[in-house]
Amino acid sequence: MISFARTALAALLVGAISLAPSMTTSAQAQDAPPSLDSAEFNACLNNLRITPAFKAISPAAFARFTGDLTPDPSVLVLLNRQPEFTMPVWDYLAVLVDDERVGDGRAAHDKWRDVLAQIEQQTGVAPNVVIGVWGVESNFGQNLGGRPLVQSLATLSCFGRRQTYFRGEFAAALRILQEGHIVPEKLVGSWAGAFGQTQFMPSTFFRSAVDFDGDGRRDIVDSVPDALASTAKFLQNAGYRRGEPWGFEVRLPAGFDTSGASRKNKQPIAAWRASGLTLADGSPLPDSLPSAGLLIPARGGPAFLVGRNFDSLYSYNASENYALAIAHLSNLVAQSGNGTAFSTPWPTDDVGLSRAQNRELQILLLARGHDIGSADGMIGAKTREAIKTEQQRLGHKVDGRAGQKLLGELR
């Protein structure tokens, strides 16, 4: 929705980024949850109740859904956390678009074929694109986040920065409950309030959620048809154009000046063709896009021409790498064949790991006596520390990053 409100999966990825060694002590001190005054919290809720933002919420509903609330200090830690470094795009893509997710996506594409066809008829959004968003946002409904939304949003409405923003989301969350779309115990999600299979913020829910299965509730938590139709509605609202591809990987002519490359700097396809660009296999650029911008996520790596539909994917999460993950996954689920690589490799000799490889790495670390808990495929702080120890032993760069080189050596 917005970069601020990370999705469940993005939160997991960010949570997986370790702290730089020199930052560990101060950052840990910073990470201690503040103690929050419950009297102050209750007074804040009482004041909020009568503000214009909450005018759609009846006093009875407000009392019912906030009656036993206590503040949750841990969301303030997450609100203030700054990522220590940006994950390289090839690590990002390796975990978000792995063989497992492509396989699950193809199965979902097949299982929901009829629903997806009706959704495309109504919104213009292609089935494989809806599946791509679903897979990246919530792993096809498997990662919804587990934090009670009302508690998180109430806390963020009364403490910390951006209270005005969160008050709007808090009010919208209460309205979702008041209107009976979702039952309270199912309204859980990320710390910032993204929830359900589409990972919508509550305000986005009221702009884009759809009751597709016709039961009168817009249930993006438990109804797959509602969730898929809501995703398509979001993309339609964001300017998705029926029948256009998101873009395609391209080959640049030798010596091409990429300094002005930007998704936003769109030119007619004919102009790109005249500049010598072709599809990745060398064939001429198709006319399926009226205009496109040149996206180069990493200098020397794969290049893409992207159109208006890529921008609609971007608006889902305000990250070009995120949009590329969705776009790439959407292509792969609509094709057959193995592998997830682009035609041009990433400019690295140590690409990232899939979720299966993360699990394998963790099993190898456990076997070497590292206390990292269970091999869940999520690279958390304990796994990072164990990786650093092994990197030191092997004479690698000590950064806690899970990559192919380390996995190869530990095998």
Cα-trace Rg, the chain: 23
Q: Does 40 bind Ca ion (CB under 5 A)?
A: no
Using CB under 5 A, which of 84, 99, 179, 213 touches Ca ion? 213
Using CB under 5 A, which of 217, 263, 328, 355 touches Ca ion? 217
Contact characters 219-258, Ca ion, x per CB under 5 A: x---x--x--------------------------------
Contact characters 154-193, Ca ion, x per CB under 5 A: ----------------------------------------
Q: Tell the smallest beta-carbon distance from residue 218 to Ca ion (Å).
A: 6
Q: Tell the smallest beta-carbon distance from residue 96 to Ca ion (Å).
A: 28
Q: Which stretch binds Ca ion (CB under 5 A): 148-156, 213-221, 276-284, 348-356?
A: 213-221
For strands 147-148 and 303-306, give the pairing.
unpaired
Q: Does 385 bind Ca ion (CB under 5 A)?
A: no
Contact characters 335-354, Ca ion, x per CB under 5 A: --------------------
Question: What stretches of 23-88 show up as alpha helix (H) in DSSP?
Answer: 24-31, 38-49, 59-66, 74-80
Q: Does 211 bind Ca ion (CB under 5 A)?
A: yes
Binders of Ca ion: how many residues, by CB under 5 A? 7
Using CB under 5 A, which of 37, 40, 110, 215 touches Ca ion? 215
Q: Tell the smallest beta-carbon distance from residue 259 to Ca ion (Å).
A: 49
CB nearer to Ca ion: pick between 138 and 357: 138
CB nearer to Ca ion: pick between 218 and 266: 218
CB nearer to Ca ion: pick between 4 and 206: 206
Say how many C-beta atoms besides its own lie within 10 A of residue 382's C-beta: 15
Interatomic CA distance for residues 250 and 267, integer angstroms: 15
Nearest-CA neighbor of 329 among 83, 62, 98, 64?
98
Q: Tell the smallest beta-carbon distance from residue 64 to Ca ion (Å).
A: 22
Interatomic CA distance for residues 305 and 265, integer angstroms: 11
Residues in contact with 1: Cβ distance below 8 Å, sequence separation at least 6, in sequence order: 194, 199, 200, 201, 204, 316, 317
Indicate the residue type of 344: T
CB nearer to Ca ion: pick between 128 and 230: 230
Nearest-CA neighbor of 230 among 85, 125, 145, 360?
125
Span 8-27, contacts to Ca ion by CB under 5 A: none
Long-range Cβ pairs for the range 241-245 (8 Å, 24+): 241/124, 241/307, 241/308, 241/309, 242/124, 242/125, 243/124, 243/288, 244/288, 244/289, 244/290, 244/307, 244/308, 244/309, 245/288, 245/289, 245/307, 245/309
Interatomic CA distance for residues 173 and 203, integer angstroms: 8
Binding site for Ca ion (CB under 5 A): 211, 213, 215, 217, 219, 223, 226
